[in-house]
Amino acid sequence: MDVLAPFRIAFEGLKPGKHDFEMKVDEEFFASFPLSELSAVDASCHVELDNIGSTLDCVIALSGTCELPCDRCLAPIELPLSFKERLVVKLGEVTDLDSDVWTLGSDVHELDLSHAVFEWCHLALPNRRIHNTEADCDPDVVDHIGWSSDNDDSDEGGNDDIDPRWNALKDLK
């Protein structure tokens, strides 16, 4: 079974006006993209396509959750995953998917949104993925790396456990 088939919308013969499509975005979807950072995802994607003559105006909205490793302790953390994007597609002679307005050539008969949804999902991920509190992190890992909420990665903390080799470098000018 082709997992990406629901993301290919046949627009030939589609009546003018608005049309709604629902797609499931899950582990099987991301398995189709071997370099994906995401795997454990449970989300639904809603596409509202407005067929206006030779233009397709699409609003793509996704909402759900994903599971990624915490940046601090590497334990799994569930994060919200959502985005809302607008895509304008014009029908023309030559296919061009590299600009803000996509152009589909006369030889293309369906709009493939799979790669766009894949990219938007990754762009919607937060830059920093950590548990809400230190207590939620894996305590063994937190103890091993010596992280605490008091440590803000600056030298002002007065860390007494500095390697003596680094102390000798402080005297160099």
SS3 of the chain: helix, strand, coil, percent, to 5: 20, 40, 40
Of residues 31 and 161, more confidently modeled: 31
Q: Are the CB atoms for 119 and 7 separated by under 8 Å? A: no
State how far the Cα of 17 lies from the Cα of 68, in Å rounded to an integer: 39
- Asked if 29 contacts 46 with a C-beta cutoff of 8 angstroms, the reply is no
Rounded Cα–Cα distance for residues 133 and 153 (Å)? 17
pTM of the model: 0.78
Separation CA 173–CA 169 (nearest Å): 9
Query: pLDDT by residue (tens digit) across 38-79?
Result: 889 999 999 999 999 899 999 999 999 999 999 888 899 999
Q: Is 49 exposed, middle or buried (0-12, 13-18, 19+ CB in 10 A)?
A: buried
What confidence tier does 147 reach under pLDDT thresholds 50, 70, 90? Answer: low
